[in-house]
Amino acid sequence: MKEATLSRRTFLKRTAAGVGATSAVVLISACSGPECGGADNLSRGELSVRKSVNYTEKSASADTSCSNCAMFGSVEGQHCGNCEFLTGPVNQLGLCDNWSETG
């Protein structure tokens, strides 16, 4: 029976391919946008209010999102901020029925 040998070049190529594939998965998952707090960190009451105003973590339109709502207060360097209506962290890319134009 022939013994399998692995050259240094083949080993390095396979290792680089594995690291590249892992990096791609991490980057793709990061691009989906962060969730702020998540449902596990909110009370039933907070979740109920968010549901009643159809809050979503990602608006379908860049023109109407929490980041340009009059009730949103951003936190520098964070994707999450505060809302005058909703309690708990709010995603700047999110949207709810209470959106109000700034200005």
66 pLDDT band, cuts 50/70/90, is very high
Confidence of residue 58 (pLDDT cuts 50, 70, 90): very high
**What are the backbone dihedrals phi and psi of residue 47, each rounded to the nearest 5 degrees, phi first?**
-65, -40
Report the alpha-carbon distance of residue 1 to residue 16 in Å, rounded. Answer: 30
Whether residue 83 contacts residue 72, with contact meaning beta carbons closer than 8 Å, is answered with yes
CATH architecture observed for domain 8-91: Irregular (4.10)
d(CA 99, CA 55): 10
Q: How far apart are CA 26 and CA 61, in angstroms?
A: 26
Residue with tokens 């009643």: 52
Domain ranges of the chain: 8-91
The predicted-structure confidence for 71-95, as pLDDT tens digits, reads as follows 999 878 788 899 999 988 899 999 9
Contact assessment for residue 55 and residue 96, using Cβ atoms and an 8 Å cutoff: yes
